[in-house]
A and B are shown apart, each in its own frame.
Chain A
Amino acid sequence: MVVKAHRRLVPAVIVPDVGAWAMWGRDLPALGFRAASAPEHAELMVAPARVPKALGEAIGAAWARMPPPRRHIALGDQLADGALLADVLAEAGQGREPDPHEGGHGDMDDGDMMAITGEPSADGLVMEAADVELGPLSSPLPGGLVVSASLDGDVVATCTVRALLHAPASSLAPDPLTPAAWSAAHAIARGESGGWGPRLAAVEVERALSHLVWLWRLAAVLGWPQLDVEVSGAVGAVIAAEHDLTAPSRRVARVADLLDSSRRLRSRTCGVGIVCAEEAERRGMGGPNGRASGLAVDARAEEPCYAAAGFEVVVAQDGDAQARVLVRAREAVQALRLAERLREEDPPAPAQIEGPRGCVRVSPAPAGRGPSRLQAPGAAVALTLTGERAVGLSWSRALVALASFDLSPWRVES
């Protein structure tokens, strides 16, 4: 056990969440911030200078719940579109104080509404129903994702998952959490032939980071401090690595080892949120979720440069939360290895890009005018499926199922 002197981490409301900042290259724990368990315990609000409009109301509600003396800082301008944080907070200060018993949340009309209703608890006991809402901020799920559920006792009777955020049509990356993958997809659409080694390496590093950030959230949902510490160290190492990926590779391998042999992981994730191969194929589920259900769907499998770098599709058969954990953990290890190989080479342009959550496509606009068409097949399916899989589970299992799908809070056309 390494004991190190530590300065105090300031508890903060983090907009949109710690994981998104990690994807933008900011290691918030290393900067001295941690996510507060509730806005009541936060001293600070950390946000981009411009915040998405869909989060405005939630930010105001969280700000109202923070005890004085409260402060806010704008860390950077990652999101070009949106309202200025200072304006949002000033507006929140003038308006009525939000009722603490209403779960503060974003605009209800914005977002894909996907209501799924299922049978209530299997034991047949009649319980008092309670409506709960998790997100879009201060939840273990990505900031911008809202889960509305009605509970029958502690069993989820209905569950709706909505992605609130939507990038403007003019932006290059419709999902700002995976900028490298989208920029590579744009480069394919532009027909660029050079510089693919570093570009694909950046996509692979982004994949490793994205999978780790997802695992970080899952560690919070599982209430597993050891995993949280290991993943947090690995995330920090990947962010800090400039060229040499040896140190991050070692840390990521340690995380994968911890998960691979863990009965502790199995006890919470085995058999949770099963999607069988047949259903995954029928509904067009792609990315790591599809691969965890036994489908060998991966755009990289067709590319000679990946084959030369020793790429093999990682597949698991069970289709449950545990399979999704193991697939992503192995892919993170593999991604850093691929990044090291690809960086040195100068391969031809690939036909498609496999992003961290599945294939991403950019089709040039017809007749060369107007914005290009941006697609992420399977993204909307994941939202619907996730809601369905949570129904009938106890709240803690439902959260594990919800967290295991790695949903993005940014909506992209499917």
Chain B
Amino acid sequence: MSALTPVAILALALAGALSVACLEQAVAGVAVGPLELVRRAWRQVDKPLSTPRHHDAWLFHLAPPLLLVASVVALAMVPWAPGFRGVELTTGVILFAGALAFVTPAVFMAGWGGGRPLVVLGGFRFVALMLAYAMPLAMVLTAVAAPAESLQPAVIVDAQHAVPTGLVQPLAFALWIPAAMAVALMAPFDLANASEELQGGAFGQYGGIHAGMVALARRILVLALAGMTAALFLSGWHGPLLPPAIWMALKTLAVAAGMLWAGRRFPRVELDRLLSLAWKFAIPAAIGAIAWSGLVTLLFYA
């Protein structure tokens, strides 16, 4: 990691968030140029802040920065190319999961600080959802790390030079995608910010730069999760002919586009259904994924 890495990650966060925003519009069937999106973002940021008068206003003000920090830390763990591996730690995967864990308090603080009953309900929904899905998420990360015998994302990418993990461990991949979408507050798992149901949802009452931070953080989260999915399951920068960074960018964009597309095709899933799916199916299945990963590791990787 050089001194320039943090600067590069911040630049990537801004450029990536803009690309995700463009992708969102394209998936919705609308062509909007990046300049127009920047102009709209500026319009948003230029507005005054809104403040709830009672309740815990400091929670309300603290939630957007916390969400932003969590998303940038998660992004920093993603290995993008052999020459640009983000912040390289031997426990990068754990820190990635740790950063995602901070999304939960951020959403809950936003909901609680908002003070309206339905908005608080949005915060509670997210806590319930993440209590259920944090476990399969972490277990899937364990399963993916086993063949590489490392928790370092770049090492896990290199372990897939022959076959992508998504093919070797399809169950882990299938469990990861919905859980990742739920963490990133993406439809159809956007129960916490279901604006029609919850009078705007957990982030519905933010205005001005707060709303801008939330919008930015959510897009960075999508980028980080799509990038990590490409790295952990789709063999990251490995690929023929094209330069490694291009492969990684293409895979990341494809994952993000797929997740955004699914969000438009399906109605929002009910909380009860998601929770029973998590506790009754996803967690036992994640144990199965770990067992399968162990078997595969012993037979083919060790």
Could you list which residues of chain A lie within 8 angstroms of chain B, going by C-beta atoms? 1-6, 8, 37-38, 40-41, 65, 67-68, 99-101, 103, 130-132, 134, 138-140, 151, 154, 220-227, 229, 264-265, 267-268, 394-397, 399
By the criterion CB–CB under 8 Å, are A5 and B31 in contact?
A: yes
By the criterion CB–CB under 8 Å, are A221 and B196 in contact?
A: yes
Residues of B within 8 A of A100 (CB): 52-53, 115, 205
Q: Which residues of chain B in 262-287 are interfacial with respect to chain A, using CB atoms and an 8 Å cutoff?
A: 263-273
By the criterion CB–CB under 8 Å, are A67 and B47 in contact?
A: yes
By the criterion CB–CB under 8 Å, are A225 and B263 in contact?
A: yes
Residues of A within 8 A of B201 (CB): 37
Q: In the bound complex, what is the Cα–Cα distance between A100 and B269 (angstroms)?
A: 30
By the criterion CB–CB under 8 Å, are B207 and A41 in contact?
A: yes
Interface string of B138-171 (1 = CB under 8 A from A): 0000000000000000000000000000000000
By the criterion CB–CB under 8 Å, are B29 and A3 in contact?
A: yes
Residues of B within 8 A of A37 (CB): 195-196, 200-201, 204
By the criterion CB–CB under 8 Å, are A399 and B118 in contact?
A: no
Interface string of B98-125 (1 = CB under 8 A from A): 0000000000000000011110110011
Could you list which residues of chain B lie within 8 angstroms of chain A, going by C-beta atoms? 26, 28-32, 36, 40, 47-48, 50, 52-55, 115-118, 120-121, 124-125, 187-188, 190-191, 194-197, 199-201, 204-208, 211, 263-273
CB-based nearest A residue for B270: A396
Q: Residue B267 contacts which of A224, A394, A397 (CB distance < 8 angstroms)?
A: A224
By the criterion CB–CB under 8 Å, are B117 and A132 in contact?
A: yes
Q: Residue A220 contacts which of B118, B196, B266 (CB distance < 8 angstroms)?
A: B196
> Nearest-CB distance from B110 to chain A (Å)?
13
Q: Residue A227 contacts which of B115, B117, B188, B267 (CB distance < 8 angstroms)?
A: B267
> Nearest-CB distance from A296 to chain B (Å)?
30
Residues of A within 8 A of B48 (CB): 67-68
CB-based nearest A residue for B193: A37
* Known contacts A8-B40, A100-B53; A38/B195 CB under 8 A: yes
By the criterion CB–CB under 8 Å, are A222 and B267 in contact?
A: yes
By the criterion CB–CB under 8 Å, are A394 and B196 in contact?
A: no
By the criterion CB–CB under 8 Å, are A226 and B264 in contact?
A: yes
Q: In the bound complex, what is the Cα–Cα distance between A40 and B271 (angstroms)?
A: 27
Counting from the closest, the 7 A-B pairs by CB-CB distance are: A223-B268, A38-B200, A37-B195, A224-B267, A130-B117, A222-B267, A140-B196
By the criterion CB–CB under 8 Å, are A154 and B271 in contact?
A: yes
By the criterion CB–CB under 8 Å, are B117 and A151 in contact?
A: yes
Q: In the bound complex, what is the Cα–Cα distance between A229 and B55 (angstroms)?
A: 38
By the criterion CB–CB under 8 Å, are A222 and B268 in contact?
A: yes
Q: In the bound complex, what is the Cα–Cα distance between A260 and B251 (angstroms)?
A: 35
By the criterion CB–CB under 8 Å, are B211 and A223 in contact?
A: no
Residues of B within 8 A of A131 (CB): 117
* Known contacts A38-B195, A40-B50, A265-B267; A395/B26 CB under 8 A: no
By the criterion CB–CB under 8 Å, are A3 and B270 in contact?
A: no
By the criterion CB–CB under 8 Å, are B268 and A396 in contact?
A: yes
By the criterion CB–CB under 8 Å, are A38 and B267 in contact?
A: no
> Nearest-CB distance from B233 to chain A (Å)?
26
By the criterion CB–CB under 8 Å, are B30 and A40 in contact?
A: no
CB-based nearest B residue for A38: B200
CB-based nearest B residue for A140: B196
Q: In the bound complex, what is the Cα–Cα distance between A223 and B191 (angstroms)?
A: 10
> Nearest-CB distance from A290 to chain B (Å)?
26
Q: In the bound complex, what is the Cα–Cα distance between A186 and B125 (angstroms)?
A: 50
Q: In the bound complex, what is the Cα–Cα distance between A131 and B116 (angstroms)?
A: 10
Residues of A within 8 A of B124 (CB): 154
By the criterion CB–CB under 8 Å, are B270 and A399 in contact?
A: no
Q: In the bound complex, what is the Cα–Cα distance between A268 and B273 (angstroms)?
A: 10
Residues of A within 8 A of B208 (CB): 67
What 18 additional pairs, Cβ within 8 angstroms, besides A101-B55, A396-B191? Answer: A3-B26, A3-B31, A40-B204, A41-B207, A68-B48, A151-B117, A151-B121, A221-B196, A222-B267, A223-B188, A223-B267, A224-B268, A225-B28, A225-B264, A226-B264, A265-B267, A268-B268, A396-B194
By the criterion CB–CB under 8 Å, are B52 and A101 in contact?
A: yes
By the criterion CB–CB under 8 Å, are B270 and A99 in contact?
A: no
Q: Residue A2 contacts which of B29, B118, B121, B194 (CB distance < 8 angstroms)?
A: B29
By the criterion CB–CB under 8 Å, are B187 and A225 in contact?
A: yes
Q: In the bound complex, what is the Cα–Cα distance between A3 and B26 (angstroms)?
A: 7
Residues of B within 8 A of A399 (CB): 196-197
* Known contacts A3-B29, A40-B207, A101-B115; A134/B199 CB under 8 A: yes
* Known contacts A101-B53, A223-B194, A394-B272; A267/B199 CB under 8 A: no
Q: In the bound complex, what is the Cα–Cα distance between A397 and B52 (angstroms)?
A: 29
Q: In the bound complex, what is the Cα–Cα distance between A259 and B190 (angstroms)?
A: 22
Residues of B within 8 A of A3 (CB): 26, 29-31
By the criterion CB–CB under 8 Å, are B268 and A40 in contact?
A: no
Residues of B within 8 A of A396 (CB): 191, 194, 197, 268, 270-271
By the criterion CB–CB under 8 Å, are B196 and A67 in contact?
A: no
Q: In the bound complex, what is the Cα–Cα distance between A138 and B196 (angstroms)?
A: 9
* Known contacts A3-B31, A223-B187; A394/B271 CB under 8 A: yes
Residues of B within 8 A of A40 (CB): 50, 200, 204-207
CB-based nearest A residue for B27: A1
Q: Residue A4 contacts which of B30, B188, B206, B267 (CB distance < 8 angstroms)?
A: B30
> Nearest-CB distance from B139 to chain A (Å)?
26
CB-based nearest B residue for A224: B267
> Nearest-CB distance from A231 to chain B (Å)?
13
Q: In the bound complex, what is the Cα–Cα distance between A135 and B113 (angstroms)?
A: 22
